[in-house]
Amino acid sequence: MVQALEWPDLVDENDQVVGQITRDDAWAQRRAVRVVNAFLVNRRGELWIPRRTASKRMFPNCLDMSVGGHVERGETYLSAFKRETHEELNLNVDALDWRKIAAFSPFETGLSSFMRVYEIRTDAAHDFNSADFREAWWLTPAELLARIEAGEPAKGDLAELVRRCFP
């Protein structure tokens, strides 16, 4: 199956749009683009952490954020958060208890992209998209970090986001 090219906005060091670039070129050239990430958090403070499928081009079989994706050309962070949450977890953000918990710049943090991070409060198990994820667990931030430190493969920014957002 051929995947369609994704065209996120290319942004400058101030997160201002200066053009467009394919997602693959952005990663290969380490150019600044925008992404959203979200964590489902239950009342015990555990994070819902999925494992990506083996068919993913980037970070196959790795632990991941509950929700994550690129902000597409002309899209806002909020609309990308809503779209990605619906695509990956079949959830309508407008019906959820959520909040933005962080905004990061790759020029100030060393993270991969300009990023908005959201927290969704829920205790419910979710009907995740099996094309994106193959399994998931509720883990405390410490349990997740211990798994990553023990060598479990994880998406690039996952450990740093957990350290920054859930100390």
* Alpha-carbon separation of residue 12 from 44, 83, 160 (angstroms): 39, 24, 22
Question: What is d(CA 83, CA 48) in angstroms, rounded to the nearest whole number?
Answer: 19
In order of their start, the domains of the chain are 9-165 (3.90.79.10)
For the segment 35-86, what is each residue's pLDDT rounded down to a tens digit? 999 999 999 999 999 999 999 988 999 999 999 998 998 899 999 999 999 9
Question: What is d(CA 155, CA 158) in angstroms, rounded to the nearest whole number?
Answer: 6
* Alpha-carbon separation of residue 92 from 23, 79, 83 (angstroms): 25, 12, 9
Residue 127 has pLDDT above 90, yes or no: no
* Alpha-carbon separation of residue 18 from 15, 36, 114 (angstroms): 9, 19, 14
- pTM (whole model) above 0.75: yes
> Mean pLDDT over all residues of the chain?
90
